[in-house]
Chains A and B, each alone.
Chain A
Amino acid sequence: QSALTQPASVSGSPGQSITISCTGTSSDVGAYNYVSWYQQHPGKAPKLMIYDVSDRPSGVSNRFSGSKSGNTASLTISGLQAEDEADYYCNSYTSTSTRVFGSGTKVTVL
């Protein structure tokens, strides 16, 4: 199972919106609505931001939203803030009852 494909880096100015893509195949992202997104600050444990493509856990800002089209899922961060600077990873359930992470995206707030 190969890692899902994410852009290595995305940047934006405070207040702007950015979108991170996560491309898989018809055996993972395209097959199920079980894509989740994780935020990881340096030296810290990952934090769940989005689950089941577009649902937000309690306590996560509504500036974070998720969507999916075909084999590509996306995470959008609106009203970008300095605290959003971190690494972001997508994860999908697969047709072999396993899970696979994306390659990770470094978000920089300019």
Chain B
Amino acid sequence: QVQLVQSGAEVKKPGASVKVSCKASGYTFTGFYIHWVRQAPGQGLEWMGCINPYSGGTNFAQKFQGRVTMTRDTSITTAYMELSSLTSDDAAVYSCARGGDFVRSAFDTWGQGTMITVSS
């Protein structure tokens, strides 16, 4: 079955970077976009950006431009999201989600989420 399994929770200091992984299985990894979404405690969902695993091409929300990097390793069907210059506002659960073959396609499968804590 289609599955996305993410790396575990992390605690980071302000100013540091964090890299979250998303291991895909059960489908052709290069055929579907991977999106990254975050949710701060008690807040709503926020789309961060997406990566085309086939080409490596990315689209980012303007808010995260210059601070987020999305990559993939097709040999191990894994996508990565790295966020730099962390502040307390970045404390949230970060999730990957499978899209379709276009950026516009809905998110049909989600990872379990990775909690990122930012604390000095």
Report the nearest A residue to B61, measured CB to CB.
A98
Instruction: Find the A residue at minimum CB distance from B109.
Output: A48
Q: Check A1 against B62 for contact (C-beta < 8 Å).
A: yes
CB of A45 within 8 A of chain B?
yes
| Interface status of A3 (Cβ within 8 A of chain B) | yes
Contact in complex: B44, A104 (CB < 8 Å): yes
A19-46 contact mask (Cβ, 8 Å, vs B): 1 or 0: 0000000000000101010101000011
Residues of chain A with a CB closer than 8 A to B44's CB? 3, 87, 89, 101-104
Which residue from A34, A89, A98 sits with its C-beta under 8 Å from B59? A98
What is the CA–CA distance of A91 and B108 in the complex, to the nearest angstrom? 13
From 84 to 110 in chain A, residues with beta carbon under 8 angstroms from any chain B beta carbon are 87, 89, 91, 93, 96-104
**Is B111 an interface residue, CB under 8 A from the partner?**
yes
| Chain B hits for A87, CB < 8 A | 44
0 or 1 for each of B75-102: is its CB under 8 Å from A? (1 = yes)? 0000000000000000000010100000
Instruction: Please count how many residues in chain A sit with their CB below 8 Å of the partner chain's CB atoms.
Output: 27
Contact A45 B47 (CB under 8 A): no
Do the beta carbons of A101 and B47 come within 8 Å of each other? yes
Tell me whether A64 is interfacial, beta carbon within 8 Å. no
CA distance A89 to B59 in the complex (A): 21
Determine the residue in chain A with the shortest Cβ distance to B45.
A101
Q: Indicate if the CB atoms of B104 and A32 lie closer than 8 Å.
A: yes
Report yes or no: B95 in contact with A45, Cβ–Cβ below 8 A: yes
Q: Is the CB of A98 within 8 A of B46?
A: no
Residue of B nearest to A40 (CB): B45
Q: State whether the Cβ of A57 lies closer than 8 Å to any Cβ in chain B.
A: yes
Give every chain A residue within 8 A of B62 (Cβ-Cβ).
1, 96, 98
**B112 to A, closest residue via Cβ:** A45
> Are A38 and B107 within 8 A (Cβ)?
yes
Tell whether B35 is near chain A: CB-to-CB under 8 Å.
yes
Contact of B45 with A99 in the complex, beta carbons under 8 Å: no
Residues of chain A touching chain B, judged by Cβ–Cβ distance below 8 Å, are 1, 3, 32, 34, 36, 38, 40, 45-48, 51-52, 57, 87, 89, 91, 93, 96-104
